[in-house]
Amino acid sequence: MNIVIVGAGAMGSRVGSALYKNDYHVQLIDDWEEHVEAIQQNGLMVINEKGKEQVYIPAHLPKDCAGEVDLLIILTKSTKTESMMKSCLHLISERTQVLTLQNGLGNIEVLTKYVSKEQLFVGVTTYSAKLSGPGMVEAFGSGKTEIMDVTGQQKEEAERIIQIFNHSAIHAIISENIIKSIWNKVAFNSVMNPLCTLTKSSAGVIGTYCHFYEIIDPILDEIIKVAEVEGIELNKKYITETIIAALNPSMSGSHLSSMYQDIQRGQPTEIEYLNGALLKKGELNQIPMPYNRLLYHLIKMLERGNGQP
């Protein structure tokens, strides 16, 4: 089985190296030349609880990868889904299965411009990772990955993908309701990513602020109202508990959010696919969203300061 990971950032490198180490034929594709060259020359350094290990996984720029692919796993930032899909079209046939494990709203709509719904699989993962430099990924902790096919007609194929993950020590299950799981993660990220970025603090630090829950409450209320008009019933208690769990340093509590890392690197954040996408849905349905609007604009101002449009 020929597997290609599109977007060898933190999560692409983590997932790709785990599958490769378990004897799957995996290649990484990324457009950060320094990173691709580092992996080609010295292998990918994977740092985890067990120590450091060089994984000699093939890595390419998109144009240099050839051959028909059986499973394409999309792990670019949502900002690059469209451009990376365009540069990978030569790898995709009608047989290729495409799995997105990205965060945010809107990726499915972009991907279905390039592949049929029957080819498309969607997942949500609580695993995390961080690129600490070109050719170097930190892959601490564990998590859970939910996967499902988009049409609901390809369950056996989804099970086969899940087997690959579990065989590679990435805990994966079939999702009962993947769209709800995506929204739960969007709610979590739309609260935590902007707050951690604007305060330049880890989740663990902002969670110790005595008015933390007063702040997150109205942000979540707005998101839950938007989800409701989209036909998705979110449970505020469940999302709040997920946030509380993430404040724990032994989970991701001491990590800086990936949105903050994007700002530090001068790259666009996924704000358009989180609070930005929610605002658009709120506007369509006349739902006032002042808290999410403020977070959105503050992040856009930071991006602007970094030279983004």
Among 27, 97, 125, 184, binds ligand NAD (CB under 6 A): 125
Q: How far is the CB of 7 from ligand NAD (least distance, A)?
A: 5
- Contact between 300 and ligand NAD by CB under 6 A: the answer reads no
Which has the closest alpha carbon to 29: 116, 89, 79? 89
- Contact between 197 and ligand NAD by CB under 6 A: the answer reads no
* Cα→Cα distances 77→43, 140, 216, Å: 23, 20, 25
- Contact between 7 and ligand NAD by CB under 6 A: the answer reads yes
Helix, strand or coil for residue 300? Answer: helix
What lies within 8 Å, CB to CB, of 229 at 6+ separation is 281, 285, 287
- Contact between 35 and ligand NAD by CB under 6 A: the answer reads yes
Closest to ligand NAD by CB, 205 or 287 = 205
Question: Is 185 an active-site residue?
Answer: yes
Which has the closest alpha carbon to 272: 240, 303, 233? 303
What lies within 8 Å, CB to CB, of 150 at 6+ separation is 108, 112, 117, 120, 121, 122
C-alpha 277/C-alpha 203 separation (Å) is 23
Q: Which residues pair with 136 in a beta bridge?
A: 45, 133
Residue found by looking up tokens 């020929």 in the block: 2
Binding mask 151-170 toward ligand NAD (x if CB under 6 A, else -) reads --------------------
Which residue out of 185, 200, 281, 300 is catalytically annotated?
A: 185
- Contact between 79 and ligand NAD by CB under 6 A: the answer reads no
Tell me the torsion sign for CA atoms 138, 144, 150, 154. Answer: positive
Closest to ligand NAD by CB, 200 or 265 = 265
Among 30, 138, 146, 149, binds ligand NAD (CB under 6 A): 30
Q: How far is the CB of 130 from ligand NAD (least distance, A)?
A: 6
Q: What is the DSSP letter of 76?
A: S
Near ligand NAD in 219-258, by CB under 6 A = 258
- Contact between 131 and ligand NAD by CB under 6 A: the answer reads yes
Instruction: Supply the residues annotated as catalytic.
Output: 185
User: Which residues bind to ligand NAD, rule: CB under 6 A?
Assistant: 7-12, 30-32, 35, 75-78, 102-103, 125, 128-129, 131, 258, 265, 270
